Amino acid sequence: MSKEVHYSDYLQLDKILNAQDMESLKHGVNAHDEMLFIIIHQSYELWFKQIIYEVDSITEIMGKPELNDKSSDLQTVVHRMNRIIVILKMLVNKIDILETMTPMDFLDFRDYLRPASGFQSWQFKIVEAKLGLKYEERYGQQYYISQLRDEQVKMIKTVETARTLLELVNGWLERFPLFDEQLYWKNYKASAAPVKGIHPFWNDYRNIYEQGLMEGEKQNASGLTEILSGDGSNNAGFSSKAKRTALFILLYRNFPLLHLPFLLLNNLVEIDEQLSTWRFRHVNMVQRMIGARTGTGGSTGKDYLKGALEKHYIFKDLLALNSFLADRRSLPVLSPELENKLRFG
C-alpha cells in the first residue's frame, strides 16, 4: 500500500517555511520588516511560476497545427488567460501589503541586500519573453544582461527564440478563413468603387471610418489605410493581415463564431494592462520607498522603471486597433453567406 499523503509533506512545507533567511539577522540587526519583504517576494515568484505554467499550456494549444476554433481548445485558452488576469490583479493589489513597510523600516535592512534586486527576477523576464517581448524591444538592455547570471540570460534568450504567444496568435489570426474564402464575398454588395490593393469590404469600412473622424483626428485615416493595404509582417508585433482579422473580430464580435476569438484578443489586452498596472504601482512604491536613489540592482531606479513601463507593452498592436473602430450601426452589411457562417459556424 502506498504511504498516506500528509499535508506538510505534500506541500514540502519544511522547505518553504525554512526559506526565510533574514540578512539583517546575520548582521546582528533587528529589522522587523525584512520578513515581510522576503515573504512578499517569494510569493510573487511562486505566482510567476504559476503564470509561466499557464502561458506554457496556452502556447502548447495555440501551437497545434490542427487548432480548431470550434473545439474546446479555444475555450481552454480563454479560460486560462482569465486565470492569468485574476492572478495579475491579485499581484497588483499585493503591493498594498508591502507598502505597510515605511521607507525607514526598509532602510533598516536595505543596504544588506545589495546588489540583489527584483531586476534579477528571471522568472519575470521569462513571463514577458514568453508573451512576446523581444530583447530588442526592451528598455535599458544593458542592465538586463548585466544583472542576471549567465545561465539565466541563456534561459531567457532560448525563450525569446521559441514561438511566443504573440507569434502564435499572429499565425492564428493570419489563418482565420474570412477573407481568403471567395464564397463569403461573391455576394457582398460594395458601396464604393473598387480600389486596387484593398478588399472591397475594407474599402467601404475605411470610408465609414473616415466619415466619423473629428477635424483633429483626420491623420488616423492613414494608420488604418496602412493596416488595410499592407501585406508585410512585423517582427515585433502583428502582421497587417493579422491586424485586419483582429479588427474584423472586434467589429463583428456579436456573431457567435467570433465571440471566443474576441474574448481571446480582449484577454491579451487585459494581460498587458494588468502587467503595466503592476509596473505603475511598483514604480510608485519605489519612488515612495527610495525617492530618487539608484536601485540595489544599480539601475537609475524609478527612471529605468518608468522607461520599462512605457516600452514593455507586448500586445500594443491590438490596443492600437481601438483607434480604428466605427460604431456598430454604420458597419457594412456582410454577405448572407458570411453572416450564415458567423452565426452557425
Q: 237 or 295: whose CB is closer to ligand HEM?
A: 295
Between residue 229 and residue 268, which ones bind ligand HEM under the rule CB under 6 A? none
Asked if the bond preceding 115 is cis, omega within 30° of 0, the reply is: yes
Between residue 289 and residue 328, which ones bind ligand HEM under the rule CB under 6 A? 289-290, 295-299, 301, 304-305, 308
Backbone dihedral region for residue 326 (phi beyond 0: left; psi -120 to 50: alpha; all else: beta): beta
Q: How far is the CB of 277 from ligand HEM (least distance, A)?
A: 14
Q: Which residue bears the cell 488595410?
A: 228
Q: How far is the CB of 189 from ligand HEM (least distance, A)?
A: 51
| Alpha-helix residue ranges (DSSP H) falling in the chain | 7-10, 13-16, 23-26, 34-62, 72-93, 95-98, 103-107, 110-113, 122-131, 141-147, 150-161, 165-175, 200-211, 220-229, 240-251, 256-290, 302-311, 316-321, 336-344
Q: 87 or 285: whose CB is closer to ligand HEM?
A: 285
Among 35, 38, 39, 40, binds ligand HEM (CB under 6 A): 40
Nearest C-alpha neighbor of 228 from the set 248, 255, 202, 262 = 202
At residue 195, what are phi and psi to the nearest 5 degrees?
A: -125, 135
Q: How far is the CB of 117 from ligand HEM (least distance, A)?
A: 3
Q: 5 or 292: whose CB is closer to ligand HEM?
A: 292
Contact string (CB under 6 A) for ligand HEM, positions 148-187, x = contact: ----------------------------------------
Q: How many residues bind ligand HEM (CB under 6 A)?
A: 24
Between residue 123 and residue 152, which ones bind ligand HEM under the rule CB under 6 A? 124
- Regarding 278 and contact with ligand HEM (CB under 6 A), the answer is no
Nearest C-alpha neighbor of 185 from the set 203, 209, 168 = 203
Whole-angstrom distance, CA of residue 97 vs CA of residue 74: 36
Q: How far is the CB of 281 from ligand HEM (least distance, A)?
A: 10
Q: 39 or 257: whose CB is closer to ligand HEM?
A: 39
| Alpha-helix residue ranges (DSSP H) falling in 176-255 | 200-211, 220-229, 240-251
Residue ranges that bind ligand HEM, judged by CB under 6 A: 40-41, 44, 98, 106, 117-119, 121, 124, 282, 285-286, 289-290, 295-299, 301, 304-305, 308
